[in-house]
């Protein structure tokens, strides 16, 4: 595999990414990744709403100190920040946070949906209440926050939104059916909102971080933990919410390494819908999985268009064969 390494000494950027005059809301910003995101945005000039309910790793024991401490840290460094303890699982609380932000600063340019907690168990042992709680705090919280700022960003003709997805959603992980389902659902949300926001200059992306936080610290060795810092992920977030940001990107980030993940479509096979169609699919499974010529569809309609095109070609060939045999 070809390797690419870029260091500060090897590559200088003539135009530093700045957020002067912009307002950012970062949920789950009291610790870990959210804190690193908030500090980076503030350091680059953004006014930051530091949102955090202050809950424990499993969502229990809320408290206000985490958000207030990070907001105070930003102000101590010369930045502007306000703390919010709004629960992202509460529609009214989210709307109140957004309304307060608009009263204070008059605009919202950036939303980072980062809040969440874990309730890991194998699917057999998982209570449905725990499944619902994770879907609510990861997926529906992002929906609530995004819905609350969406029309503001459209009216401004400017907005940058990031959904925090996960490798557990993209690729699966034992004991995280609830978390993986919610995190993959965020990808689908991002894909559609990216399409809907395009003409309004509202760009929507996903960040899939690998970082040592209180949610993941048990998974890695001490050596890996020293590399997988939240601060090593934050530059990816900065890129995704910058003026020149892409849209509909899934950026994978960890330990200062960055890549992208994509939902792809292989070049279809055509077997028709006859009585042996299922057997033909099974017989050509390797060709079905062949990634040569795969594409990243720009919308869901491309799948249907590819399938219809294959069917039309097959019918045309069949028709031509019949004519040739007459």
* Residues sharing a CB contact under 8 Å with residue 169, sequence separation 6 or more, in sequence order: 179, 180, 181, 182, 183, 184, 185, 186, 187, 208
Pair 111, 145: CB distance under 8 Å: yes
CA distance 142 to 195: 17
* Residues sharing a CB contact under 8 Å with residue 72, sequence separation 6 or more, in sequence order: 81, 83
CA distance 174 to 178: 11
* Residues sharing a CB contact under 8 Å with residue 268, sequence separation 6 or more, in sequence order: 306, 307, 310
Given the residues 6, 158, 171, 179, the one annotated as active site: 179
> Which is nearest to 249 in space by CA: 263, 231, 238, 233?
263
φ, ψ for residue 113, nearest 5 deg: -85, 100
| Token pair for 45 | 């000039």
CA distances from 26 to 29, 131, 146, 177 (A): 6, 24, 12, 26
User: Known catalytic residue: 179?
Assistant: yes
The catalytic site residues sit at 179
């Amino acid at each position: 595999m070809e390797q690419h390494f870029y260091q500060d000494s090897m590559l200088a950027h003539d135009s530093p990414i700045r957020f002067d005059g912009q307002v950012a809301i970062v949920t789950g910003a009291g610790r870990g990744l959210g804190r690193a995101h908030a500090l980076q945005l503030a350091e680059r000039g953004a006014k930051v709403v530091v949102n955090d309910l202050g809950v424990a790793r499993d969502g229990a024991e809320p408290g206000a100190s985490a958000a207030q401490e990070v907001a105070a840290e930003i102000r101590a460094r010369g930045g502007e920040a306000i703390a919010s303890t709004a629960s992202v699982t509460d529609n009214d609380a989210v709307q109140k946070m957004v309304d307060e932000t608009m009263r204070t600063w008059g605009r919202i340019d950036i939303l980072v949906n980062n809040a969440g907690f874990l309730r890991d168990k194998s699917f057999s042992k998982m209570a449905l209440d725990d499944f619902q709680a994770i879907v609510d705090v990861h997926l529906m919280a992002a929906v609530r926050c995004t819905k609350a700022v969406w029309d503001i960003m459209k009216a401004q003709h400017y907005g940058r939104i990031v959904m925090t997805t996960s490798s557990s959603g993209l690729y699966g992980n034992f004991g995280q059916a609830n978390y993986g389902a919610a995190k993959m659902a965020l990808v689908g949300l991002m894909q559609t909102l990216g399409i809907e926001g395009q003409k309004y200059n509202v760009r929507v992306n996903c960040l899939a971080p690998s970082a040592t936080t209180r949610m993941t610290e048990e998974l890695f060795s001490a050596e890996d933990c020293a590399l997988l810092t939240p601060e090593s992920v934050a530059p990816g977030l900065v890129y995704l919410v910058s003026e020149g940001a892409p849209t509909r990107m899934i950026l994978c980030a960890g330990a200062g390494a960055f890549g992208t993940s994509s939902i792809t479509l292989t070049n279809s096979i055509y077997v028709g819908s006859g009585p042996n169609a299922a057997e033909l699919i099974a017989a050509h499974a390797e060709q079905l999985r062949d990634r040569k010529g795969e594409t990243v569809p720009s919308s869901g309609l491309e799948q249907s268009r590819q399938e219809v095109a294959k069917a039309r070609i097959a019918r045309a060939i069949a028709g031509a064969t019949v004519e040739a045999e007459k």
